[in-house]
Amino acid sequence: MNTRANYAFWRQLKSLSIRDAALLIFDTDPRAFDHPEYDGNIALEDLKDTEREILSSVMGGAIKQSPYSSHFSGNSALVFIDTDSFVAWCADSCMWIEEWSKGIPPEYAICNRIYRELIMTEKVDSSGSSAKNKIRTWLNKNYPGDALSGEARNRIETVMNPIKVGGAPSTPK
Instruction: Give the model confidence (pLDDT) of 10-37 as tens digits.
Output: 878 889 888 899 888 887 888 877 777 7
> Alpha-carbon distance 68 to 157, whole Å?
42
Coil vs helix vs strand at 17: strand
> Alpha-carbon distance 75 to 142, whole Å?
28
Overall pTM surpassing 0.85 (yes/no): no
pLDDT(77) > 80 = no
Separate counts of helices (H) and strands (E) for the chain: 8, 2
For 68-93, what is the mean pLDDT? 74
Asked if residue 119 lies in contact with residue 160, where contact means CB atoms within 8 angstroms, the answer is: yes
pLDDT(94) > 60 = no
Q: Which long-range CB contacts under 8 A does 43-49 form with residues at least 24 apart?
A: 46/117, 46/121, 47/19, 47/22, 47/23
What distance, in Å, lies between the first and last C-alpha atoms of the chain? Answer: 53
Choose among 114, 86, 70: nearest CA to 21: 86
pLDDT at residue number 126: 59
pLDDT at residue number 55: 86
